[in-house]
Amino acid sequence: MKQGIVYLVGAGPGDPGLITVKGRDCLQLADVVVYDYLSNPCLLEQAPADAERIYVGKRKGMHHYPQEKITALLLDLARAGKVVVRLKGGDPFVFGRGGEEAQALASAGIRFEIVPGVTSAVAAAAYAGIPMTHRDFTTTLGLVTGHEDPAKKMSSLNWEKLSTAVGTLVFYMGMANLETICEQLIAHGRSPKTPVAAIRWATTPKQETLTGTLATIVEQVRSADFKPPALIFVGEVVALRESLRWFDNRPLFGKRVLVTRTAAQSGSFSAQLEAAGAEAICCPVIEITPPPSYAELDAAIGRLPETDYLVLTSANAVDAFFARLKVDNKDVRALYGTIVAVVGPKTADALQRYGLQADLVAADFRAEGVVAELLQHGVADKRILYPHAELARDIITRELTAAGARVAAPVAYSSRLPANGETLRALLQNGEIDAVTFTASSTVDNFIALLGEDASKLLGTTPLFSIGPLTSATMVRHNLKIAAESTPSTLDALVDSLSNYFTKAH
């Protein structure tokens, strides 16, 4: 039996991008991931598909696994020869009981490694715009656990030294004892006017920051019903947040935006939305499928040496064409001498993934744009290959044929409704969506098909955003009110239109 090993990995504070490279590498090796409540579930996707995932999260009053059972589980898995990743929120050695787990592994003679993580105090301060040290304010920092029995009045802390000897104090798990913390700090010499910040769900789209002073923060927390998990920052540096806040100052911060693109295409758009501060809720309303037959496309690929132009109008068309090219044991060399025309920069980017630069990129990011571009170059007697979606408009075939071109227009891919209508319905019913985005006419049609007659009622006053005039025309046909239409018809412009809308709304 192979020897097991346990990696005690700090998952960081919530933003999955803050896990270390080594932490991610350990996840990719895992046979088993043992994870807790504060670990971002997205990180589990880094583990192999067949890796076992065991949740051992603990919350106040809801201990799923006692610590002793977690430790025993780690020992049992390692003894069975497993590569175990113990994924812990923040850093395993900063109030994470990683030290206790490491001691148990060492005593049992089991191999282990410690992989540090970004502890929540460091991350929360950075994302709230609070430098924990600053030479104009303080050069001392203290990290304190505030998680004790309130009846003890946190007696294990030396309040007399703690209150005035350290410039910035950070209390972990201290919300239940906030009143005691403030009282003790004031009683032992800290000014009641000392700035305080409470930060919850740090580094996530749900991050909230409440600022006050030692004299006011307790009442502010009560009035706002500010619940844990949260960290408490005490010190003059908290005042710098007013000028340094950035994370929750972004135009779409806290907005939950529904992404209706296909699962394969939602990633880049979601990343753009998240960069603007939004939480992207991916619920594809369209699923790409093979065409009824590849016969026409395969025949057209066989005639590539005779083809003058290849026209690709979407990333889906690019992927479908090259997938079929590979099936025929061909690659980009088969396009030697063929001019490749695409609609818009995103389709050009998709083409570059296959090592090919577009020869023509339509300035108008619609079929009309590529037609105009080709007509300028002259298409009479030219052979044109236009692989397209099953339900695509016929404007390219019709206009280029009328201009004297010989157009082969095989169906390269089809689409269908995904089985997620109930998920979509629940998101809207529960008020979990602040905006809906449509990136093609097909997403509008399928959205309505999934929701049926209840679409308007479920949407209510939720603002709807269109990527361009063709999509907007489909929305109008379904009696959907358009909050904004992007110009030009790109994902970048669509994100800008959302940002402008919500900025004006405030």
**How confident is the model at residue 392, as a pLDDT?**
84
**How confident is the model at residue 152, as a pLDDT?**
53
Q: Is-contact 266 284, C-beta < 8 A?
A: yes
**How confident is the model at residue 447, as a pLDDT?**
95
Name the active-site residue from 31, 36, 434, 445. Answer: 36
**How confident is the model at residue 58, as a pLDDT?**
62
Name the active-site residue from 22, 58, 153, 330. Answer: 58
159 and 227 belong to one structural domain: yes
426 and 335 belong to one structural domain: no
Q: Is-contact 170 146, C-beta < 8 A?
A: no
Q: Residues of 335-370 as b/e, b for ≥16 C-beta within 10 angstroms? A: beebbbbbbbbbbbebbeeeebebebbbebbbbbbb
Q: Which of 62, 92, 118 is the last residue of a domain?
A: 118
Name the active-site residue from 15, 132, 154, 173. Answer: 173
How does DSSP assign 57-119, residue by residue? -EETTEESS-HHHHHHHHHHHHHTT-EEEEEESB-TTSSSSHHHHHHHHHHTT-EEEEE----
72 and 126 belong to one structural domain: no
405 and 429 belong to one structural domain: no
Sign of CA dihedral 490, 492, 497, 498: positive
> Which CATH number is 9's domain given?
3.40.1010.10
Q: Identify which has the larger pLDDT, 66 or 297.
A: 297
Tell whether the model's pLDDT for residue 60 goes beyond 80: no
- The tens digit of pLDDT for each residue in 342-358 reads 988 888 999 999 999 99
Cα–Cα–Cα angle for 252, 257, 262, rounded to 5 degrees:
135
Domain that holds residue 394: 290-412
Quickly tell me which residue has 């929750």 as its tokens: 248
- Average the pLDDT over 315-326 and give the result: 93
278 and 301 belong to one structural domain: no
Lowest-confidence pick of 192-201, 217-226, 416-425, 470-479: 416-425
- Average the pLDDT over 85-100 and give the result: 93
479 and 445 belong to one structural domain: yes
- Average the pLDDT over 21-32 and give the result: 96
Q: Give residue 502's pLDDT band: very low, low, confident or very high (50, 70, 90).
A: very high
Residue 173 a catalytic site member: yes
- Average the pLDDT over 6-25 and give the result: 94
297 and 383 belong to one structural domain: yes
Mean pLDDT for all residues in the chain = 91
- Average the pLDDT over 84-97 and give the result: 93
- Average the pLDDT over 442-462 and give the result: 92
- Average the pLDDT over 305-321 and give the result: 93
**How confident is the model at residue 226, as a pLDDT?**
96
Lowest-confidence pick of 11-20, 261-270, 379-388, 403-412: 261-270
Structure tokens at 213: 């002073």
183 and 326 belong to one structural domain: no
Tell whether the model's pLDDT for residue 147 goes beyond 70: no
278 and 421 belong to one structural domain: yes
**How confident is the model at residue 454, as a pLDDT?**
87
444 and 489 belong to one structural domain: yes
What is the residue type of 305? Answer: P
Structure tokens at 332: 């980009």
- The tens digit of pLDDT for each residue in 216-235 reads 999 999 999 999 889 999 99
Tell whether the model's pLDDT for residue 61 goes beyond 70: no
Q: Provide the 3-class DSSP secondary structure of residue 398.
A: helix
- Average the pLDDT over 242-256 and give the result: 95
**How confident is the model at residue 59, as a pLDDT?**
56
Q: How far apart are CA 462 and CA 323, in angstroms?
A: 38
181 and 237 belong to one structural domain: yes
383 and 445 belong to one structural domain: no
- Average the pLDDT over 419-437 and give the result: 92
> Which CATH number is 495's domain given?
3.40.50.10090
Q: How many domains does the chain have?
A: 4
Q: Is-contact 199 222, C-beta < 8 A?
A: no
| % of the chain exceeding 90 in pLDDT | 75
